[in-house]
Structure 1
Amino acid sequence: MTLTLAAAAAPFGRDLDQTFALIADLVGLARARGASLLALPEAALGGYLADLGEHGVEQVLHQHALPPALDVDGPEVARLAALAGDMVVTAGFCESDGAERYNTAVAVCGDGVLGVHRKVHQPLGENNSYAAGDGFRAFDSPIGRMGMLICYDKAFPEAARTLAMDGAEVVVCMSAWPGSRTGAAADLAEDRWTRRFDLFDQARALENQVVWVSANQAGTFGSLRFVCSAKIVGPGGDVLATTGVQPGLAIADVDVRALLDGARRSMAHLRDRRPDTYGVLAGV
């Protein structure tokens, strides 16, 4: 069965009314194309941090208020689910859990929450604002078994591999991935952090032979300039659709089962693993 998958590169800030107006527009565009899945970026509900320096929360607050802390069971996620309707929509937000805040992603449809992921790997000074998640788990959804990662998580092969080994056929990675902070290229297409972002997306799809859906923030926020580059990547590492370094939607028609079966028919990376040889990596 062919599914239409969409990933957004779009700017999201603190104003939740503006956020939901933008999400409604993106959902409408994706639905008009027949999309079954729309991936929104990391921190879509309430925006990301204004800076990733290694200073404390006080300096970040001086530059820009921290994102609003929202509940998975709260009205904002319920509003997202209502907009999703018969689609699956994924989005990031700052989750409130008692005294802790987490950088969290949620997958929803009109029936409610399908899955939740708390970002595990924290770059630079992100740990000044968020607690870290503790694992990676796939879940069943109307588009099949899927998993979620957030931004820096994709730099660690073990993260995506864990989801693939848990049966994920589609992996959505939501990011607020900026361009380089030093020696930045005037053209984001030439920026080394854009190149890394794209390489990680293609490598994770290829090594796990999954369909990879990558969403990212766009524009600027605080000191950060985001690289966009939303994309759909096939299990052979081939980019099926991309926004490049511009805002927009990357949309591709994908027969997930046929693509995975074809990629895994002879050289099946998950099947051909040799965990007995991996030593410390396998916990031996």
Structure 2
Amino acid sequence: MQIDSNFAKAATFIRSAATQGAQLAVLPEYHLTNWVPKDPGFIGLCEQWETWLEKYKSLARECGICIVPGTIVEFHREEGEDGRELGGMGEKEVRERLLNVAYFIDEKGAVKGKYVKKNLWGPEREHLTSSGRDVHEVFDTPIGKVGMLICWDLAFPEAFRELIAQGAKIIIVPTFWTLNDCNEAGLKQNPSAEAVFLDSILTARAFENTCAVVFANAGGPPGRGYAGLSQVTVPFIGAVTRLGSCAEGMTVVDVDLQILEDAEANYKVRADLERDDWHYDYRHSGKGKL
């Protein structure tokens, strides 16, 4: 909840990445506020979401770099669509929502894409509103066709399929995933079960979709359950770069996207998606049918 200092630290990392020639900077989910929805001050910070979005747009312009500022939790208070009055007192129906939102901001400070988290982790469901049945969208950006997912979306291959069916080559995934997200039974089997989950699933998603996955997860002091493992994962190789779990830090990595074309030439996943007789065309199709 130290939102000013968290932004300042993020800006320092982003400026450093820009001076090293990076075209894109990605931050973790909930990086400004953490996830403390029951704290009395949480809603008040989430009401300021437009202020922080504008700060990141200005930072992108200043540094000439694209930014996915992790996620920003937005508080929205809206009147009911039909403007109904409640209780005969002249009060209109009001709906309050918390949305967990990722933005893609280009190097000129323009928002090129927005994604509201769809697949909510169990404890989030009491507080957040999902994007529900809204279709996953792909955005044209200076680094190519990009799709965005958030954290627990990783567990759903359908989300990736919808994105690559629309031509996404890079999937960006801001995340706040900890080792303590495993239940007691799983932790007894393996205290690092969630790390196995993350490393395995990120590699699988890159291979099975011939895409690059940019995964930025929260890291932190040892003994507090942070999983970390931020990485960029591509077919053939797996993780091109990978941070550990017990340190806050940044890495700048060069990714030659030709590897995606080489992987597609081998596995032909996208080609199968585009076929008229593809077995699963009732759900996903390279021709835009969903």
Deviation at 1:23, TM superposition (A): 1.1
- State the distance in 1 between where 2:48 and 2:139 align: 20
Q: Secondary structure at the match of 1:205?
A: helix
User: Higher relative contact order at CA 8 Å, sep ≥6: structure 1 or structure 2?
Assistant: 1
CA contact (8 A) 2:43 2:75 kept: no
The equivalent of 1:112 in structure 2 is 110
| Cα RMSD (Å) | 2.8
Unaligned runs of 5+ in 1: 1-13, 50-56
Q: Tell me which of 10, 16, 24 is aligned to 2:3.
A: 16
AA of the residue aligned to 1:153: D
Q: CA deviation at 1:66?
A: 5.2
* TM-aligned CA deviation for residue 135 of structure 1: 3.1
Q: Residue 191 in 1 paired to residue 192 in 2?
A: yes
Give the Cα separation in 1 of the matches to 2:159 and 2:101.
15
Match of 1:77 in 2: 53
The answer to whether the Cα contact below 8 Å between 1:48 and 1:67 also exists between their aligned partners in 2 is no
Quote how far apart the aligned CAs of 1:21 are: 0.9
By how many angstroms is 1:224 displaced?
Answer: 6.9
User: For the Cα contact (< 8 Å) 1:232–1:251, is it kept in 2?
Assistant: no
Q: Indicate if the aligned counterparts of 2:233 and 2:241 stay in contact, CA closer than 8 A.
A: yes
Q: 1:267: how far off?
A: 2.0
Write the letter of the residue equivalent to 1:61: D
Q: CA deviation at 1:68?
A: 2.5
Select 2:28's aligned residue among 23, 41, 44: 41
- 8 Å contact 1:46–1:67 — kept in the other structure? no
1:123 Cα shift? 1.3
Q: Of 36, 42, 61, which aligns to 2:39?
A: 61
Instruction: Confirm or deny: 8 A CA contact 1:209 1:236 kept in the other structure.
Output: no
- Aligned residue identity for 1:214: F
3-state DSSP of counterpart to 1:114 = strand
2:84 counterpart of 1:87: no
Equivalent position amino acid for 1:18 in 2: S
Q: Are the aligned partners of 2:176 and 2:218 in contact in 1 as well (CA < 8 Å)?
A: yes
Match of 1:97 among 72, 76, 86: 76
1:154 alignment counterpart: 154
Change (3 A) 1:46 1:144: same
2:123 maps to a residue whose letter is G
Change (3 A) 1:216 1:255: same
Classify the secondary structure of the residue corresponding to 2:45: coil
Name the aligned partner's letter for residue 176 of structure 1. Answer: F
Following the alignment from structure 1 to structure 2, what is the Cα–Cα distance between the partners of residues 97 and 236?
43
Partner secondary structure for residue 153 of structure 1: helix
* AA aligned opposite 2:272: D
Distance 2:169 2:281 in 1: 27
Instruction: Kindly indicate which of the two structures has a greater share of residues assigned to strand.
Output: 1
Report the 3-state secondary structure (helix = DSSP H, G, I; strand = E; otherwise coil) of the residue aligned with 1:41.
coil
Return 5+ residue gaps in structure 2 as ranges: 78-95
Q: Is the 8 A contact 2:59 2:109 kept in 1?
A: no
2:271 is aligned with what amino acid?
Answer: R
Question: Contact 1:122–1:152 (CA<8 Å) still a contact in 2?
Answer: yes
- Does structure 1 retain, via aligned residues, the 8 Å contact 2:173–2:213? yes
Q: Deviations over 1:176-195 (max 9, x none)?
A: 00113445879x9x610111
The reply on whether 1:121 has 2:108 as its aligned counterpart is no
State the 1:239 CA deviation: 0.8
**Structure of larger gyration radius:** 2
Provide the rounded CA distance (Å) in 1 between the counterparts of 2:135 and 2:54: 24
Amino acid at match of 1:105: A
Give a deviation string over 1:139-189, Cα, whole Å, max 9, x none: 011111101100000100010111111111111001000113445879x9x
Which residue number in structure 1 is paired with residue 130 of structure 2?
132
Letter in 1 for 2:112: L
Preserved CA contact (<8 Å) 1:44 1:92: yes
Question: Quick check: 1:139–1:145 contact (8 Å CA) kept in 2?
Answer: yes
* Structure 1 Cα separation of the partners of residues 66 and 239 of structure 2: 21
